[in-house]
Amino acid sequence: MNRHVLLVEDEPNIVEAIRFLLTREGWQVDCHSDGSDAVEAVQNLKPDLLILDPMLPGRSGLDILRDLRALSEFENLPVLMLTARGQSRDRDMAERAGVSRFMTKPFSNVEVLTAVRDLVALAGRA
């Protein structure tokens, strides 16, 4: 598996933090901030991992995830959802939409790296 991640996040500080963290670990990181065409971005870039914010301008991350899971090419794409809303209801909705891992903001660098490594390792065994 390659090391290419697409980060769909509209908060510039989070984008820069995650981009720095993953680039330093050897990942190619592409960033996208608009939900309205995020599915097309995934289709064009074909990342090995998607990091997705559920609250985006243009379209919700949950809708994006549902659309991706309906496409056979992306039904097994590892998706890490990073959200400021960590209530059990939000987690349940994300799990029903097909999220691979759910993480609340704020998060530590170690948490993100561990989640990314775990998701890629699991996908490699699938």
Q: Is position 123 within any domain?
A: no
Q: Is position 36 within any domain?
A: yes
For 81, residues 6+ apart whose C-beta sits below 8 A from its C-beta are: 51, 52, 53, 54, 61, 65, 94, 99, 101, 102, 103
Q: Is position 125 within any domain?
A: no
Q: Which helix (H) or strand (E) holds 68?
A: helix 61-69
Rounded Cα distance between 87 and 80, Å, is 16
pLDDT value of position 88: 85
pLDDT tens by residue, 32-86? 999 999 999 999 999 999 999 999 999 999 999 999 999 999 999 999 999 887 7
Q: Is position 126 within any domain?
A: no
Rounded Cα distance between 73 and 9, Å, is 22
Structure tokens at 26: 């050897």
pLDDT band at 31 (very low <50, low <70, confident <90, very high): very high
Q: Is position 124 within any domain?
A: no
pLDDT band at 90 (very low <50, low <70, confident <90, very high): confident
> For position 72, which CATH number holds?
3.40.50.2300
How many structural domains compose the chain?
Answer: 1
